[in-house]
Amino acid sequence: MVSTNHPRYESLNRRDLLVEGYKSGIVSIHGLIAQGRGEAFDYLLGEKTSDTARHATKVACAYLLTAKHPVISVNGNTAALVPKEIAELSYLTQIPVEINLFHRSEDRIARIAEHLHAYGTENILTGVDAVTLPKVASQRAAVDRRGIFQADTVFVPLEDGDRAGALVRSGKTVISVDLNPLSRTAQASTVTIVDEVTRAMKNINTSLRRFAEKDCFDELEDLKSSFDNRKNLDASCRTLLRHLQSVVS
Amino acid sequence: MVSTNHPRYESLNRRDLLVEGYKSGIVSIHGLIAQGRGEAFDYLLGEKTSDTARHATKVACAYLLTAKHPVISVNGNTAALVPKEIAELSYLTQIPVEINLFHRSEDRIARIAEHLHAYGTENILTGVDAVTLPKVASQRAAVDRRGIFQADTVFVPLEDGDRAGALVRSGKTVISVDLNPLSRTAQASTVTIVDEVTRAMKNINTSLRRFAEKDCFDELEDLKSSFDNRKNLDASCRTLLRHLQSVVS
């Protein structure tokens, strides 16, 4: 148990969730290494949500609320870290959750489905009716016919492969959360939220609840049309640089 | 298997070594997350050895060659990543290797000892004759009486706890390899090599072989007396910043 007074309590607590997830067969061994990479980038970003990320979060909500066939693509790390937030997002928006793994195993998919369901997600697709996406080399190419395959908008809280570019090239809107603004996923997505996934998911759900309170069609369209992911990523890179400069000097 | 043509072959190959090490009981689950953190910092450093790291490597050799009772402190990740290089270092310098773990388990120590021995390390201490270091909270406080306890110089290729400061305060010279120049280990050590451990170990062994070819007593003393770890770490931070600036713009 990590004391809540520890300066890095949140980060250490997330590490424990991943380790538990690995032990219960939800997280893959490569998911643990990926978590470490995320920790390092979050540390360099000061472990807080930037204004840039906050803006990208609102744009992501605009896309999710105006999509015809949106889907949420969940992997092991996402299920371990934010099961409650995924359930809330799916409930608020009525968007289905597809379990889609880079290191695919039917056993792990079943365990993740059980875990998500225990936390309240109702609408779960497990790729039983699977088709193969063209130009995706990993096992993530196997997608559900009713989910990612027919989706116009795919929200990927944590992408663990090279798939974002292929999804965008096939005409889909891709929204991702990625702490490395220089990664291929970050660079290829339509909207990239450069933030830690727990903070990002909480902010998304808060924004969605606010949008639900009012007639906001024009605001959502404005958010989408005025957004430039390249500029937003550049701003995240500058945030990273500024924070590094401040701790170095 | 990762193709040798892959731009990040070395990094992916190391990841595979860690995963294999975990499966064979050498690497701890936390070691996998630590590897991910290291990968992120190495990525930001351009995955190459800086001149700053190269200089710190030579100074580390000077300390190792002039110490009265040096010891090499090895954990699971070090054993998985550089077993051959540890054997070579121990052979070249006749310095014993102590297996010392943050998450201590007798089973894991036995497996690491067997692994190191299979790669050629002869002089291995496993903490059978253990005493407890004062002011170290983790299980790494349990050290071998013939090793770290009596050592004047401790070389820690990968430190995974908070111990470097305590070792320095107890009067020991601490040499560490750490990709994060801002970490507590990096900041507390006498000499910090900010480099990936495989590259650092190869460079150390190359330098040691060169020093062995000539009478270099004065050179070694000069290397030690003119070295300022604080300045060297600042230079590593600037390297990190410069590389980040170059990839961002």
Per-residue pLDDT tens digits for A163-188: 888 899 989 999 999 999 999 999 99
Instruction: Please tell me the distance from the alpha carbon of residue B175 to that of residue B158, in angstroms, as a whole number.
Output: 10
Cβ of A40 within 8 Å of Cβ of B35? The answer is no
pLDDT at A40 over 70: yes
Mean pLDDT, chain B, rounded, equals: 92
CA distance B57 to B82: 16
Determine the distance in angstroms separating the CA of A95 from the nearest CA of chain B, rounded to an integer: 32
In Å, what is the CA distance from B140 to each residue of B66, B99, B102, B150, B171?
A: 26, 10, 5, 15, 17
Residues of B in contact with A19 (CB under 8 A): 29-30, 33
Interface residue A12 vs chain B (CB under 8 A): no
Angle in degrees, 0-180, between the axes of helices A83-93 and A106-118, rounded to the nearest 10: 70
Nearest Cβ partner of B41 from A15, A29, A40?
A40
Query: In chain B, what is the greatest distance between 2 CA atoms, to the nearest angstrom?
Result: 55
**Contact residues on chain B for A40, CB-CB shorter than 8 A:** 36-41, 180
Q: What is the mean pLDDT of residues B41-57?
A: 95
Mutation for A interface: B13, B17, B33, B138, most A CBs within 10 A: B33
Beta-ladder partners of A159: none
User: Tell me, which fold does domain B51-246 have in CATH?
Assistant: Rossmann fold (3.40.50)
Query: How far is it, in rounded angstroms, from Cα B1 to Cα A196?
Result: 30
pLDDT at A5: 64
Cα nearest neighbour of A41 on chain B:
B40
ipTM over 0.90: no
A238 and chain B: CB distance < 8 Å anywhere? yes
What is the per-residue pLDDT across B116-168, written as a single tens digit (0 to 9) for each?
999 999 999 987 777 888 777 777 788 888 888 899 999 999 987 678 988 99
3-class SS of residue A136: coil
Q: Select the residue of B36, B182, B240 nearest A35 (Cβ to Cβ).
A: B36
SS3 (DSSP) at B11:
helix
Chain A residue nearest residue B31, CA to CA = A33
Of all helices (H) and strands (E), which one includes residue B164? helix B163-169
Query: What confidence tens digit (pLDDT) does each residue in A190-210 have?
Result: 999 999 999 999 999 999 999
